[in-house]
Amino acid sequence: MRRAFVHGLMATAMVFSAASAAFAAAPSAMPANKTAAQDDWWKHAVIYELYPRSFADSNNDGIGDLKGITNHLGYLADLGVDAIWMTPMFPSPQVDFGYDVADYDNVDPQFGTIADADALIAKGKGQNVKIILDFVINHSSDKHAWFQQSKSSKTNPYRDFYIWRDGKNGGPPNNWTSLFGGSAWEKDPTTGQYYYHFFYAQQPDLNWRNPALEKAMFDQAEWWLKRGVYGYRLDAVGTMFEREDLKDNPPAPGTDAFGLPEQNRINNTEQPEMHTELQKLRQNVIDKYPGRILIGETYVSTAPELTKFYGAKNDELQLPMYLSLIGLKPITAADLRPRIEAVENNPVGGWPCFALNNHDQRRSTSRYDLPAGTTGDDMARIMAAMILTLRGTPILYYGEELGMLNNDPKRVEDVQDIIGKKGWPKEKGRDGERTPMQWDASVNAGFNTGAKPWLPIGPDYQTRNVAAERADPNSVLNYYRTLIAERRTNPALAGDMTMVDRSNPNVLSYVRTGGGKKLLTVLNFGGTASDLTLAQLGGGKIGRVIVQNRTTVTANGLHLAPLGAIVAEIN
């Protein structure tokens, strides 16, 4: 089921971590390499996705909130984060934990107030941490005033804000199924018509073919831009439009987690009209405010499909996230290389954007079968070495920098995420990757000091937490800090990228070059150790080592144990 988010896919001597050396030189909030045009700040940024419910709970009600985030901005600035993308904190019945928005121009009381949002934006400005919000473009909550109006009669002026149709042969208008289970159509008794919902029935799809809806949505987007947010992560971009003639989807093999036959969603996803709409959003709203950006939740399988989201004239999304690396299981160098290269070399010159974790996917530390002798921490390190040295903008997910693990529900009665209740046990939902941030070893991991957190704290919190990892030079956190600091100061990491040792099925290697510097990244995703010569890796000599894990520098090359990773200067 989780793959359905991906539409169409869907130890040897000298092993040490160089993190300690760079710890002392950890960056201040102002990046050294912000010499590029201010409007391009996002090309040199580290973006951090944060799930407000789970980050920090300032008022001890068990649910994270905006003040909690504001209280921890110093941590983010110190980590080297340039911008946070917050998942929705707007008023919402929370059926889909905020992705069912009831009012865009406000803050849900459980997360705080508009004043709290303004304070977060202002404090972020002071600390050089920009705030990016989530814009749920495909649907609203069924409790949104627009939908309440829309459902009240066929002639209500808001009727066409949503997609209403008559049923067919005593059933729904067509065979489309919801990604979250059951038919994608819900019959509403007031008018006897059906409304369309790609996700839950409580998330009716908005009708972007209606100019009045378009204007209303653009106005909402502008409202927050005026308050100082730096743009949006657009939710579920590919579901924005569906075929107007409602053509049935063809069947696909198998059954979904909710018991219905799978289908190939070619008629209600990835419709060409969305590109025109994204161009309008970019030109009419975003570009009016300097430096503002659009990030896309763009689940596509191939780079050519992703390329479309930059726009033929680079006039759509600045950062369509390439999320397909998440779907690789097992993860191999042979699978990673062509995918990364295809994104790097996209024909419109769009800037790559990678994410390896998010609130809908198992954390990478818990996602794969680990080679014998390795741990989730080794997986965290190899992933960090990759995402923080690829050419492009990385989007990290809170807790990733600690090597946090999934903490999956063990019993259906403990599940919070409704898809986990509906799909149990095949689909356990997304609670496991959304557990509270682990700040310290105190009760509730420093998330709060009061009510039971909305999801259980990871059992490893007494050792895996910010305080403990800050103090440990070999921690995953310091590995991240070191790499992020290097991104800010080393011009090679703002320069070109070339894959080397290209036919190696197990080890992914590439060289970054810029400002007279060269940086080599070597990552052993294979299940066995690998010995590589420097000639094989493009030549030169290993110089300063930035980070190193399960790797030895040998007389004429490198020895990498499984999940071994190294980032080093080449002289």
57 binds Ca ion (CB under 5 A): yes
**DSSP string for residues in 14-36:** T---THHHHHTT---SS-TTTTS
Q: Which of 96, 205, 297, 417 is catalytic?
A: 297
- How far is the C-alpha of 72 from the C-alpha of 275, rounded, in Å? 37
305 binds Ca ion (CB under 5 A): no
Select the binding partner of residue 235 from Ca ion, ligand NOJ, none (C-beta < 5 to 8 A, by kind). ligand NOJ
For Ca ion, the closer CB: 284 or 442: 442
- Classify the phi-psi angles of 98: left when phi > 0, otherwise alpha if psi is within -120 to 50, otherwise beta: left
108 binds Ca ion (CB under 5 A): no
Stretch that binds Ca ion, among 57-65, 300-308, 349-357, 490-498 (CB under 5 A): 57-65
- Confirm if 95 and 203 have CB atoms less than 8 A apart: yes
- How far is the C-alpha of 159 from the C-alpha of 1, rounded, in Å? 32
Stretch that binds Ca ion, among 55-63, 97-105, 315-323, 384-392 (CB under 5 A): 55-63
For Ca ion, the closer CB: 61 or 118: 61
Residues in contact with 471: Cβ distance below 8 Å, sequence separation at least 6, in sequence order: none
Helix, strand, coil percentages, rounded to 5, for the chain: 30, 20, 50
The least distance separating ligand NOJ from the CB of residue 184, rounded to whole angstroms, comes to 13
- Confirm if 451 and 471 have CB atoms less than 8 A apart: no
The least distance separating ligand NOJ from the CB of residue 209, rounded to whole angstroms, comes to 20
Structure-token match 């502008």, residue found: 222
Q: Which of 30, 13, 19, 133 is CA-nearest to residue 401?
A: 19
Q: Verify whether residue 160 is a known catalytic residue.
A: no
Give the 3-state secondary structure of residue 442.
coil
Q: Verify whether residue 118 is a known catalytic residue.
A: no
Structure-token match 């704290």, residue found: 457
Select the binding partner of residue 360 from ligand NOJ, Ca ion, none (C-beta < 5 to 8 A, by kind). ligand NOJ
- How far is the C-alpha of 480 from the C-alpha of 19, rounded, in Å? 8
Could you give the residue ranges of the DSSP H alpha helices within 194-332? 211-226, 273-284, 303-307
Q: Which of residues 147-206 bind ligand NOJ (CB under 6 A)?
A: 199
Interaction pattern, residues 254-293, with ligand NOJ; x per rule: CB under 6 A: ----------------------------------------
Q: Using CB under 6 A, which of 120, 136, 380, 477 touches ligand NOJ? A: 136
- How far is the C-alpha of 222 from the C-alpha of 291, rounded, in Å? 14
In this structure, the chain runs to a length of: 571
Give the 3-state secondary structure of residue 293.
strand
Q: Which amino acid is at 21?
A: A
Select the binding partner of residue 284 from ligand NOJ, Ca ion, none (C-beta < 5 to 8 A, by kind). none
Q: Which of residues 85-104 bind ligand NOJ (CB under 6 A)?
A: 96, 99
Q: Using CB under 5 A, which of 40, 61, 341, 472 touches Ca ion? A: 61
* Cis omega (within 30 of 0) for bond into 330: yes
Q: Using CB under 6 A, which of 116, 235, 378, 433 touches ligand NOJ? A: 235
- How far is the C-alpha of 262 from the C-alpha of 249, rounded, in Å? 10
Interaction pattern, residues 237-256, with ligand NOJ; x per rule: CB under 6 A: --------------------
CA dihedral (218, 223, 228, 231) in degrees, to 10, reads -20
The least distance separating ligand NOJ from the CB of residue 233, rounded to whole angstroms, comes to 9
Q: Which amino acid is at 394?
A: P
Select the binding partner of residue 96 from ligand NOJ, Ca ion, none (C-beta < 5 to 8 A, by kind). ligand NOJ
The least distance separating ligand NOJ from the CB of residue 218, rounded to whole angstroms, comes to 19
- How far is the C-alpha of 522 from the C-alpha of 240, rounded, in Å? 39
Stretch that binds Ca ion, among 56-64, 286-294, 343-351, 472-480 (CB under 5 A): 56-64
Q: Which of 409, 435, 407 is CA-nearest to residue 423?
A: 409
- How far is the C-alpha of 341 from the C-alpha of 321, rounded, in Å? 15
Select the binding partner of residue 63 from ligand NOJ, Ca ion, none (C-beta < 5 to 8 A, by kind). Ca ion
Q: Using CB under 6 A, which of 236, 303, 319, 484 touches ligand NOJ? A: 236
Q: Using CB under 5 A, which of 16, 20, 33, 59 touches Ca ion? A: 59
Which residue's C-beta sits nearest to ligand NOJ?
Answer: 99
Q: Which of 57, 65, 205, 235 is catalytic?
A: 235
Q: Which of residues 338-397 bind ligand NOJ (CB under 6 A)?
A: 359-360
Can you name the residues that pair with 518 across neighbouring β-strands? 513
Which positions touch ligand NOJ (CB under 6 A)?
96, 99, 136, 199, 235-236, 297, 359-360
Residues annotated as part of the active site: 235, 297
Which positions touch Ca ion (CB under 5 A)?
57, 59, 61, 63, 65
